[in-house]
Amino acid sequence: MLFNSYIFIFAFLPVAYVVFWALRNTTARYIWLTLTGYVFYGYWDARFCLLMAFSTLVSYGAGLGFLRWSDQFRRKLCLVVPIVVDLSLLAFFKYANFGLETTQAILHVAGIDVRVPHLNIVLPIGISFYTFHTITYIVDCYRGVIRPTRRFFEFSTYVSLFSQLVAGPIVRFRQIEQDLENIGTTSRTKWLERGISFFAIGLVEKVLIADTISAFVDPALAQHQLLSTAGTWMAMLGYSFQLYFDFSGYSTMAVGLGYLFGIRIPQNFNSPYKALDPSDFWRRWHISLSSVLRDYLYIPLGGNRGGEWKTYRNLLITMLLGGLWHGASWTFVVWGGYHGALLAAYRAWGKTWDRLPAVCRRIGMFGLAVVGWVFFRSASFTMAAEILHRMFVPTGGLSVAQAPLAAVALGVAAWWAMVGPNAFEMSHEYRWRGRIVLATGLAAGLAIIAGSRSSPFLYFQF
């Protein structure tokens, strides 16, 4: 079920909302939210609900273990066992074929030709996200950052909360713990307007901006080998904005949905294309992921505490794994490595970069991000090389379809992403003029979904 579908907006959400607020009891609301999460998730494939339930049980059990035992050995066991279980599931479903194919390629280079079977595995949607939810919970319990919950349904609500289940943000338990505790007494009207507003803004970002851009980007990149230099740049700029508005739109809708149920989900995008340098970019892009990578990988690796070279190494390892998290493909690893290299380079020569005027740094950082998206978007290195070649070596060829319309869409997207306010910077207390703008955006978004253009969110594949 997609947020940008009529079944979600006019059937699932109203039922989930009305029943939730009709229930007065905290536990009943936990159970209801858990149930809605499983219905929402099971709409894609009911079998995967079992997987999520298993992961939830294991992590919840580990939490109880932390409460019960204080000796280091058993606490470590409570830390390691569930993380191994969660990562094994993720590894199997997401990376098994990738691992087998890579092994085959390495053996082939070594002169050993072995036919490795291709496993017929369906990637459970959102597994990367809820695995991170459970892992961050376990690690925080182990570190003593949070006190594990005894209430099973509170924990299951946290894992299966439909607003952040399949594509994040990666919300840590401590970030919503207080709202979950107060779920039985929270006010329905307090955040209602804010919730609707965030949801509508997210819908506009996704449906009006991202999907409109995808209508010319997707066909153009499908024939990337025929595009001219201008056409390739247009397609890649389009993809950069499409990806941002798609994911940011999803996150904004998730925040809005959270508000509707009295849960404050943190900001995931803070206008990343306004970033002035690589470090700033990662403070603004997919904030929940980059902060998880920082707190649970980069800092445990040593962070910047072991000298320059170790810092560079830690940055690279963190970003390479961050790239791999996005997808089981070497192009994602290279994308991660590219950003790791940018972060390391900024650390080395940042003072020189910072002397440039702000507008140059912003445009420069955006350009660097666009180059990175080439690897992110490409299905293979051949495709990435072809696109990069056409971007940087003047080449004749086709332009994108409906170029004037595409240019208008790009202009609007560029303004909003690089100059305009993001959803968290907007006011959500509306007078009539604001309400009319909101109604206009909502109507336009719903009209487009009512056609046949509603498309899945790009980050669902991760």
Partner 1 sequence: MTSAPASEPADVSVSARTHTSPAQYEQASSHGKSQDHRRNLLLRLSGAFALIVVFALTFELTCRVEDWVMYRMPLASPYRSVEDLIIRDADGMHGRPNAQFQKWIMNNVGTRGPRASLLPVSGTVRIITVGASETFGLRESPGHEYPRQLEDSLNARLRNGACPARADLRVEVLNAAFAGMTLPTIQQDVRNRLVRLHPAVVVAYPSPASYLEAERPVAARPDSSPNAGVIGSRAMLHPRAIDRLRDQLKEMLPTAIKSWLRQRETDAARAGVAGPLFSTPPADRLSAFEVDVRQLISGIRAIGSAPVLVTHANAFVGRRTIDGDKLIAWEKFFPRTTGATLVAFDSLSRSVEFSVAAESGAVVVDATRRLASAPDSAFADYEHFADLGAALMASAIADGVLATEPLARICSRAQAHFGN
Question: Where along the sequence are the contacts to partner 1 (CB under 8 A)?
Answer: 6-7, 10-11, 212, 215, 402, 405, 431-432, 435-436, 439-440, 442-444, 446-451, 453
Report the distance separating Cα 143 and Cα 151, nearest Å.
20
Report the distance separating Cα 211 and Cα 435, nearest Å.
24
* CA dist list (Å): 266 to 40, 269, 284: 21, 9, 12
Asked whether 145 and 182 are in contact (CB, 8 A), the reply is: no
Min CB(49)–partner 1 separation in Å: 18
Min CB(308)–partner 1 separation in Å: 53
Name residues whose C-beta falls within 8 Å of residue 208's C-beta, 6 or more positions apart in sequence.
441, 444, 445, 448
- Each residue of 86-116: b (16+ CB within 10 Å) or e? beebbeebbbebbeeeeebeeeeeeeeeeee
Min CB(215)–partner 1 separation in Å: 7
Min CB(8)–partner 1 separation in Å: 10
Comparing CB distances to partner 1, the nearer of 4 and 59 is 4
Comparing CB distances to partner 1, the nearer of 22 and 443 is 443
DSSP E strands in 103-262: the ranges are none
Comparing CB distances to partner 1, the nearer of 254 and 449 is 449
169 prior amide bond cis, ω within 30: yes
Min CB(450)–partner 1 separation in Å: 4
Comparing CB distances to partner 1, the nearer of 17 and 95 is 17
Name residues whose C-beta falls within 8 Å of residue 286's C-beta, 6 or more positions apart in sequence.
168, 169, 247, 268, 269
Look up residue 356 and give its DSSP letter.
S
> What's the N-to-C CA distance of the chain in angstroms?
16
Report the distance separating Cα 77 and Cα 83, nearest Å.
10
Comparing CB distances to partner 1, the nearer of 80 and 447 is 447
Min CB(218)–partner 1 separation in Å: 13
Min CB(281)–partner 1 separation in Å: 32
The residue to which tokens 């947020």 are assigned: 3
Tokens of 14: 């109203």
Question: Of 133, 224, 286, 326, which is the active-site residue?
Answer: 326
CA 141, 144, 146, 150: dihedral to nearest 10 degrees? 60
Min CB(402)–partner 1 separation in Å: 8
Report the distance separating Cα 6 and Cα 3, nearest Å.
8
Comparing CB distances to partner 1, the nearer of 202 and 337 is 202
Phi, psi of 5 (to 5 degrees): -135, 150
Longest dimension (CA), the chain: 72
Report the distance separating Cα 415 and Cα 454, nearest Å.
24
> Would you say how long the chain is, in residues?
462
Active-site annotation holds for 133? no
User: Quick check: helix, strand or coil at residue 227?
Assistant: strand
- Residues annotated as catalytic are 326
